[in-house]
Amino acid sequence: MNKNYKLNDKVIMKKPHACKTNEWIITRMGVDIKIKCINCGREIMMGRLEFERKLKKVLGEEK
């Protein structure tokens, strides 16, 4: 799996958000990763290990 993610990349997680959307944008990269649901704008923060465990696919930066 491609785990070369970076800030502003669009990603797909293993589980969709509660709003049924499963596309997220990485809005913060530090010790913790913050992702924002592209549908409802809700942001979720989690540790890198947890993020990588839940990550399904990196789609890359929006052109």
Nearer to Zn ion, 4 or 19 (CB): 19
Nearer to Zn ion, 31 or 46 (CB): 46
Give me the residues paired with residue 44 across strands.
35
Instruction: Confirm or reject binding of residue 45 to Zn ion (CB under 5 A).
Output: no
Q: Quick one: DSSP state of residue 31?
A: S
By CB under 5 A, what part of segment 11-40 binds Zn ion?
17, 19, 21, 37, 39-40
Which H or E element spans position 54?
A: helix 48-54
- Residue 50: CB atoms within 10 A of its CB come to 12
Give the interface with Zn ion as residue ranges (CB under 5 A).
17, 19, 21, 37, 39-40
